[in-house]
Amino acid sequence: MATLCSNCGYPLVYDPLTRRVVCDACGSAFFPEKIEAYDKDFSLNENEAVKEFMNCHVYTCSSCGGEIVISGQEVSTTCIYCGSPSVIFSRISQARRPDFILPFQFGREQATEIIRQRFKRGTFIPEPFRNLQPESVHGIYIPYWLVNVYHAESDVIRGEVGSGDDSTTYYYARAGRIKLNNLLVESSMELSDESSARLAPYDLRKLKHFDEEYMLGFYSDISDMTYGELRKTADARASAVFRTTMDKDIRAHVCRVIDGRSATLIDKNMTSALLPAWFVTVQFEGKPHTILVNGETGKIVCGLPWSKKKFWSLVGLVGGGITFFASIIYFIIGFFFTSGFGFGAVGAAALLTSMIPTIMPALFINLVFFLIGLHFYRKVDRQIKLTQSTDTFRFTKKRQG
Amino acid sequence: MGVVFVILFALIMGGIWGFSIGFFIFSLVLNHSNNIGDKRVSDVPYTSQFEVTSRADKIPHRTEIFQQHIESGMMNLINSPEYRAIMEQSVRRSDDELVSHENNVKQ
């Protein structure tokens, strides 16, 4: 149901800028935690009945009576007919009620401006991404579990000592434990784990005790994670931290775990929290691209397509310049060297033979430059696939009405 | 023939330098421009306590020795009183149950 203004009866909305629940009609503002308790009814009443037909959840808007189709996990939404913000209290039962909420720290206009300012700095970002309208930016609370994890792991690691021809491979065994407190595990299975993990960090000191009024005007889900999924995610995160920390204990470089076992225990005293994010979906070349913004820090998470023509033109232009100067240098070296042997086959052979010690390191350095470049190129490509992911698109599309 | 060879040699070497450096520079620019909000381990907001319980350096490259180290390291960890104490406090629910406070309280 919508929480209505006690002065004029218009639906209230949470305003991140003033940190108040405000009424757009009469301008009244209230502290979320001071909204009268009688406004919140956690029992399932007639007006907010959520009916399930053929795996489809239908919510009846308490303001206009319109029927809205919602997902199985949504707990707050906006009516597509009258625009009233609604919190489905019946879904926030005591068992699934979050402990904390981190309210949005800035509004929709500011989120749009943050995205625009960042995109202006992007050399290869196409024009449609720079012209975002605030109306297309939506706020959502993403559910997380905050867990304390105890992780035990025993591994065999391969490491290299020395460099070049003197490099030697050794094998190391390490066993150890790591305790992680307040590890954030995103608990809405509809949003990809990688997308939500990249939204971190959040300043958990700003968490407030859960109050439904903070959700007014925003979309939100409740946790739909199973213990199996929680264990899997916590184990993967803890193992990644363990291995990164353990690498520092080995006096070798290029360390790689080649075999191992692990066990992860999750403290049963876990807490849950709703954390804020802004999202916007932009269609580009027939594909949806979902941009996420951390609602607390303003950190943007996305991988955007780029103008391939511009990229390769610049590579060609700068590469051509370098080619020109490098060719002159190599020509001068080659010319003077070959002239000593005459410009025949003997000179050419002498040039090749004597230049091999110089050419090989040059080729090696160039290979390193190319591989590092390729690594970044592929990284961007991977992030674009994530931004275009149908999971993220479906998650956000459902909440855009 | 020699001059042609020198010109070819200079162009090939120059081209290799030009392409690799040009590609390297603009891949970095591209990553900075279009890969926004890349995850870093230091971004993950947790506090941690790390402890190594057993170490063996430069062990022979033999599968059975690897397995011995892994097994003994793991046995020491899970047989420790600390592990047993933490296990008592840990979640023990079946994999397909939904995570909720209610489930944890019931334990």
Q: What is the pLDDT of residue A332?
A: 86
Spell out which residues of chain A touch residue B44, defining contact as CB-CB under 8 Å.
Answer: 183-184, 197, 200-201, 237, 241
Give me chain B's average pLDDT, please: 82
Residue of B nearest to A335 (CA): B6
Would you kindly state where each structural domain of chain A is located, as residue ranges?
12-97, 108-302, 308-387
Residue ranges of E strands in A120-252 = 138-161, 168-186, 208-209, 219-221
CA distance B38 to B40: 6
B72 in a domain, yes or no? Answer: yes
CA A68 to chain centre: 29
A170/B contact by beta carbon, under 8 A: yes
- The pLDDT of residue A45 is 47
A74 pLDDT band (50/70/90 cuts)?
low
* Cα–Cα distance, A397 to A229 (Å, whole number): 24
DSSP states along A209-232: E--GGGGTTSEEE----BHHHHHH
Please report where in the chains the tokens 């290979």 appear, as a residue: A367
DSSP label at B5?
H
Tokens 């390297």 belong to which residue? B24
Strand (E) or helix (H) holding A70: strand A67-70
- pLDDT-derived band at A62 (thresholds 50, 70, 90) equals low
Q: Where are the beta strands (DSSP E) in chain B?
A: 35-36, 47-56
- Enter the DSSP assignment of A204: G
Alpha-carbon distance B106 to nearest alpha carbon in chain A (angstroms): 10
- Chain A positions touching B98 (Cβ under 8 A) are 223-227
Is pTM beyond 0.95? Reply is no
State how far the Cα of A135 lies from the Cα of A280, in Å rounded to an integer.
9
Query: What span, in angstroms and rounded, lies between the C-alpha atoms of A52 and A59?
Result: 9
Is residue B6 situated within a structural domain? yes
Which structural domain range is residue B5 located in?
1-34
- Asked, for residue B62, whether it belongs to a domain, the answer is yes
Residue A47 has pLDDT above 50, yes or no: no
- For chains A and B, CB pairs below 8 A equal 361
Domain count, chain B: 2
Q: Which residue carries 């305003």 as its tokens?
A: A15
Chain A residues whose CB is inside 8 A of the B78 CB are: 152, 263
Tell me the per-residue pLDDT of A334-357, one tens digit each, with 9 for 90 and over.
777 777 666 666 666 776 777 777
Question: What value does the CA radius of gyration of chain A take, rounded to a whole number of Å?
Answer: 29
CA A103 to chain centre: 19
3-state secondary structure of A171: strand
Whether the CB of B84 is below 8 Å from some CB of chain A: the reply is no
Q: 């060297």: which residue's tokens?
A: A337
Other Cβ atoms within 10 Å of A197 Cβ, number: 17
Among the partner-chain residues B6, B14, B52, the one whose CB lies closest to the CB of A249 is: B52
Please tell me whether the interface predicted TM-score (ipTM) of this complex is above 0.90. no
Q: What is the rounded CA–CA span in Å between residue A302 and residue A371? A: 23
Does residue B87 sit at the A interface (CB-CB below 8 Å)? yes
pLDDT of residue A49: 47
